[in-house]
Structure 1
């Protein structure tokens, strides 16, 4: 890969020669790169106000075998970006702690900026109104999901973690319905088991809040609300700090909507003290 933006440069280079409809697709892609490239073909076409066949013609004209091939190129570019950052990080090992602190701070700033007030408000409304809330994640991101569940369960009833194991998850799905909400954390490399559960839950009418990365989980099209952490929050080792930070923001936004929280917390403290006695 010549550079981190080779695909974007390729789109920009051909733009003047394209028909108007295909130019509209390129404008959408470049205005929100790489995010606009990682949803569905139909959503991309809708944003550009053209038909899906018009979008398909653009990718064929540029030498990709189809939209999926184009998306694979964008994701491969993202992976190379991460490898480059890791190589740079290793090459400057003597300054590692200082650079790590700078990158962590930059990632946190970008995460807070990405989790804007309107987006947090929509998530908070769903968390406060759902009949039941189910949290889940993949490797490492399951820790953020556990944190959400532990904190939110202290504030409202009906909050649980999606269990491990196919049989246990199947039993959960038996009772899921339109009143339920799944909050999934899905980061590269995306979890197949998370995807299977979420798709089954959505088929039963459950709603989805998805927290993902700049390159977007394949589940993005399934989400009612999508919270996408920016590329700056990825870092060479994708620190968990950013996932926990955005979870804290979600919780802070949700608390004012949960009128039963004070009494529930008092009961929880009393029960904890009672159970902790010999």
Structure 2
């Protein structure tokens, strides 16, 4: 069974309870500008965290690395994975691809992605995000990037049926400032952003947060820079044996969010859906088989 390796940020968070006070301080420092914060010299990393160099050595060994050089090699590998383009990603997996059929290999990778992603999601955080989206007093804004705009469009379409006051922000950077004018304090901005993170999306998130909006971020295991200002972040495993990253886990999560919001809003959602179906019938939008 293929599985997606944990990132160092995952390992840091999972090990946090077992670290000393100084090591926790170091872990916090590394996570603040991850992964770049760990790529300097050991002296610089220790200085930035205001700990000693022996503390750095002890912590990376606790995390399972033989020493700081191996720790940095792993970080550089993650950074390379973040910035690699589709051709580079294909070359990475094709050279060591198993001999089984692509259907099996791809499915195994997806199932591993699902298990690892769901295993790291706190149900309380998931419920809090859904509560925000179900709150009719809040406006909802949805935005994606070059590839993830398909996920954003799908999410918007369903949320628009469930509740009023939902807006799909166009992903082109010269258009979204107009939408941002309408964002009020307490509104919710749902953002889809995976590796090769887009600068314009980060700027949109920063400006929305400045206006007091809540940010719900769907990202990958390396985490978009938006994670630092997001109210809720859902990190999805996306690696599969392909030149393209997989959208299956983000789709699973967003569909689950839609189902959860529907449960919370059913008293008002049901009449909206009935009215919509009535309009479809009157316009004969869909074929009827009677």
TM-score range, shorter chain: 0.7 to 0.9
1:55 aligns with 2:49: yes
1:234 aligns with 2:234: no
Q: Is the 8 A contact 2:192 2:217 kept in 1?
A: yes
Residues 7 and 187 of structure 1, relative CA distance in 2, 3 Å threshold:
closer
Provide the rounded CA distance (Å) in 1 between the counterparts of 2:174 and 2:262.
33
Of the three residues 130, 133, 140, the one matched with 2:140 is 133
1:265 aligns with 2:259: no
Q: Can you list the C-alpha shifts for 1:228-278, whole angstroms capped at 9, x where unaligned?
A: 224xx4334321111111111111221121131100100111112223369
Q: Is the 8 A contact 1:182 1:206 kept in 2?
A: yes
Of the three residues 201, 211, 226, the one matched with 1:219 is 226
Residues 154 and 77 of structure 1, relative CA distance in 2, 3 Å threshold:
same
Match of 1:87 in 2: 92
Match of 2:203 in 1: 196
Q: Is the 8 A contact 1:115 1:227 kept in 2?
A: yes
- Further displaced range: 152-161 or 164-173: 164-173
Shift of 1:39: 3.5
1:91 is paired with a residue whose SS is coil
Residues 272 and 79 of structure 1, relative CA distance in 2, 3 Å threshold:
same
> What is the correspondence of 1:130-209 to structure 2 with a 5 Å cutoff?
130-209=137-216
1:124 aligns with 2:118: no
Residues 277 and 118 of structure 1, relative CA distance in 2, 3 Å threshold:
closer
The root-mean-square deviation of aligned C-alpha atoms, in Å, is 3.7
TM-score (norm 2): 0.70
Shift of 1:201: 1.1
1:102 aligns with 2:108: yes
Structure with more of its chain in helix, by fraction: 1
Q: Can you list the C-alpha shifts for 1:63-117, whole angstroms capped at 9, x where unaligned?
A: 9xxxxxxx99765321456878963444336423321121112112223333442
Q: Is the 8 A contact 1:108 1:242 kept in 2?
A: yes
Residues 7 and 196 of structure 1, relative CA distance in 2, 3 Å threshold:
closer
1:223 is paired with a residue whose SS is coil
Provide the rounded CA distance (Å) in 1 between the counterparts of 2:173 and 2:79.
30
Shift of 1:179: 3.0
Provide the rounded CA distance (Å) in 2 between the counterparts of 1:273 and 1:59.
71
Q: How many residues get paired?
A: 240
- Flag structure 2 segments of 5+ consecutive residues without an equivalent: 13-19, 38-45, 58-70, 83-87
Q: Is the 8 A contact 2:146 2:171 kept in 1?
A: no
Match of 1:22 in 2: 22
